[in-house]
Amino acid sequence: MSIRLEEIKPKRVMIVNRGEIASRVAKACRELGHTSVGLWTDNEPDAAHLEYCDEWVHLEGNGNAETYLDMAKLVALAKENNIDGVHPGYGFLSENGNFSTMLSEAGIIFIGPHNEAIKVMGDKATSKALARDAGVPVVPGTSEAVPTVKKALEVAEEIGYPILLKAVAGGGGRGMRACISPEEVQKNFEAVVRESTAAFGNGDLLVEKLIVNPHHIEVQIMADKKGNVYHFFERECSIQRRHQKIIEEAPSPFIGEDEELRRDICETAVKLARSVKYDSAGTVEFIMGEDKKFYFLEMNTRIQVEHPITEEITGVDLIICMIQSAFGDDLQIPSQEWIKKTGHAIECRICAEDPITMLPSPGVVTGFETNFPQGVRFDHCLYRGLEVTPDFDPMVGKLVAKGLVRDVAIRKMKAALAGLYIEGLKNNIPLHKVVMDDPVFNEGGYTTNYITDTAPQERIDKSIDFVSIYRKLAAAEARNMGM
Ligand code: ADP
Ligand code: ADP
Ligand code: MG
């Protein structure tokens, strides 16, 4: 069987984001023949993504609230510029149902799922109830907000400690606290309500069982507007700090060769997506215990940071599919069976953060060079002079390495990390180097407790060879100048 490419009518796509994802979307637009319209702000007039966009539009204002989060301003700009579709990237307005409603009222397509899916999945209580009703296993505990400490204590007693207090509106790893006793529930309840009210404007909490020694395993979904829903296998994202991912791999080393378990988790994700008539790129996240039982965590109704590792093992461009789906074009996927995985891919998130404390460390890039082995992918927004401000996410790039087997992917990642030079900006490359050398990581059975249990940050080589970095930068510069 072969499929012919349908002719695609060129569209105007505005990219309402910045950083590496804005470049990534612009590249996909170019491949499809769509015109990409990038935004520039006074904070970041030389943003790296502008290089890849066909047109640039000035987004006036200071800080995120007046720019990438100002929905009325963005919709007005899109109308002024005759935009057909808006790609929101991740973060910012990517999971904001009001934004997609405002766009559709203005006759503009939101490149993401339909509004109802965003709204239902955006809330950890309603999505959990929906998953349970669809026959998807959910973490024991409540699937509606728990209004008082008293009720929280009752639920905790029923499901047994340890438990997790979790904000229904939480995201980015925030709004969660584990409690091992009734005293801890007493102590933490009000604090989590306060924090999540401040961060998300919603203080509702769930109480759920804390799965011990768990694995974060998620399934990539892609769907079109004709009712086709596909999965693109799983990713393991158990290397986390503060409940946020820093290293991801596909396929999951914990699932390993257990094809039955793989099929089960992937088909469960498809079942959930079908139950909300899902019609775009999305990810169903699960938490898996030592016993390999898995439970639904949440669905992210957007493209995820770590989508490249799935692209590397399946050979499918997920951003392209997402754009095709939004405009009602064919996904060019003949059937689920055509989607095959080959090899193993690993992603290291390169963040402007102190590698030991793992806290954001804003600054200015004074030098940037790469010297990668064959076949490495680096999606990034780095350039000399880039200023990473506290306003933006500290992630500046995603280093992706692939091999036919996991060991080869690890070897390639080590070589890639050794060939990535970022000067002037504190970053977590030294931490990634330790993890790639670590026997626990290499063995592949690690859990979300990995950073806490193995403390790789304590093994960072503090005698980093800055001299050789400077020498390499100088040599590269001399080459560029034709010396
Ligand atoms: P992914 O699985 O795509 O990596 P993350 O949880 O790391 O998801 O979030 C992706 C991006 O979105 C990050 O830049 C993160 O800071 C941001 N983000 C996600 N949810 C929220 C939220 N509720 N509030 C603010 N930022 C968020
Ligand atoms: P967010 O929206 O912030 O991404 P998630 O529900 O996806 O929130 O959880 C983020 C991370 O927190 C998970 O990847 C996992 O490491 C941890 N976590 C969440 N729920 C549980 C649970 N019930 N038991 C153990 N760990 C959990
Ligand atoms: Mg999550």
Residue with the smallest CA separation from ligand 2 atom 11 is 243
Ligand 1 centroid – CA 393 distance (Å): 9
Ligand 2 close to Cβ of residue 246 (< 6 A):
no
- Rounded CA-CA distance 307/301 in Å is 13
CA-wise closest residue to 175 among 298, 15, 322:
298
Ligand 2 close to Cβ of residue 139 (< 6 A):
yes
Dihedral sign for Cα atoms in the order 206, 208, 214, 219: negative
Residue with the smallest CA separation from ligand 1 atom 22 is 171
Supply the pLDDT for residue 180: 97
Q: What is the pLDDT of residues 227-245, one digit of tens each?
A: 999 999 999 999 999 999 9
Work out the widest C-alpha separation in the chain, in whole angstroms. Answer: 74
Q: How far is CA 2 from CA 18, 60, 334, 380, 469, in A?
A: 37, 48, 8, 34, 49
Ligand 3 centroid – CA 118 distance (Å): 14
Class of domain 140-209: alpha beta
Domain spans in the chain, listed from the N-terminal domain onward? 5-111, 140-209, 215-469
Q: What is the pLDDT of residues 25-45, one digit of tens each?
A: 999 999 999 999 999 999 999
Q: What tokens appear for 262 in the block? A: 């793989």
Full pLDDT tens readout for the chain, 483 residues: 566 677 778 999 999 999 999 999 999 999 999 999 999 999 999 999 999 999 999 999 999 999 999 999 999 999 999 999 999 999 999 999 999 999 999 999 999 999 999 999 999 999 999 999 999 999 999 999 999 999 999 999 999 999 999 999 998 889 999 999 999 999 999 999 999 999 999 999 999 999 999 999 999 999 999 999 999 999 999 999 999 999 999 999 999 999 999 999 999 999 999 999 999 999 999 999 999 999 999 999 999 999 999 999 999 999 999 999 999 999 999 999 999 999 999 999 999 999 999 999 999 999 999 999 998 999 999 999 999 999 889 999 999 999 999 999 999 999 999 999 999 999 999 999 999 999 999 999 999 999 999 999 999 987 665 555 666 666 667 777 665
Dihedral sign for Cα atoms in the order 101, 102, 106, 110: negative
Which atom of ligand 1 approaches the CA of 237 most closely?
Answer: 2
Tell me how crowded residue 73 is: count the other CB atoms within 10 A of its CB. 15
Supply the pLDDT for residue 7: 77
Supply the pLDDT for residue 398: 98
CATH of 5-111, one of 3.40.50.1980, 3.40.50.300, 3.40.50.20, 3.30.70.920: 3.40.50.20
String of DSSP letters for 132-189: HHTT--B-SB-SS---SHHHHHHHHHHH-SSEEEEETT--TT-SEEEESSHHHHHHHH
Q: Which residues of 259-273 are buried (b: 16+ CB within 10 A; e: fewer)?
A: eebbeebbebbbebb
Supply the pLDDT for residue 470: 62
- Rounded CA-CA distance 6/10 in Å is 12
Supply the pLDDT for residue 468: 56
Which atom of ligand 2 approaches the CA of 300 most closely?
Answer: 2
Which atom of ligand 1 approaches the CA of 91 most closely?
Answer: 12
Do 5-111 and 215-469 agree at the fold level? no
Ligand 2 close to Cβ of residue 78 (< 6 A):
no
Ligand 2 centroid – CA 297 distance (Å): 7
Residue with the smallest CA separation from ligand 1 atom 11 is 91
CATH dotted code for 215-469: 3.30.470.20
Ligand 2 close to Cβ of residue 141 (< 6 A):
no
Pair 215, 447: CB distance under 8 Å: yes
Supply the pLDDT for residue 482: 61
Q: What is the pLDDT of residues 114-169, one digit of tens each?
A: 999 999 999 999 999 999 999 999 999 999 999 999 999 999 999 999 999 999 99
> Measured at the alpha carbon of residue 50, what is the angle toward residues 44 and 76, in degrees to the nearest 5?
80
Ligand 1 close to Cβ of residue 171 (< 6 A):
yes
Ligand 3 centroid – CA 335 distance (Å): 28
DSSP-assigned letter for residue 124: H
CA-wise closest residue to 235 among 346, 380, 349, 138:
346
CA-wise closest residue to 21 among 307, 240, 278:
307
Query: Which ligand places an atom closest to the C-alpha of 124?
Result: 2
Pocket probe for ligand 2: among 243, 298, 301, 453, the residue whose CB has the most ligand atoms within 8 Å is 243
Ligand 2 centroid – CA 121 distance (Å): 15
* 12 tagged catalytic: no
Which residues partner with 249 through β-bridges? 236, 346
- Rounded CA-CA distance 447/469 in Å is 34
Ligand 2 close to Cβ of residue 210 (< 6 A):
yes
Please state the pTM of the whole predicted model: 0.94
Q: What tokens appear for 114 in the block? A: 């339909």
Supply the pLDDT for residue 6: 72
- Catalytic hit among 12, 24, 262, 302: 302
Ligand 2 centroid – CA 237 distance (Å): 11
Supply the pLDDT for residue 149: 96
Ligand 2 close to Cβ of residue 162 (< 6 A):
no
Which atom of ligand 1 approaches the CA of 248 most closely?
Answer: 4
Q: How far is CA 359 from CA 268, 308, 352, in A?
A: 36, 25, 9
- 363: Cα separation from own chain's centroid: 23
Tell me how crowded residue 341 is: count the other CB atoms within 10 A of its CB. 17
Ligand 1 close to Cβ of residue 33 (< 6 A):
no
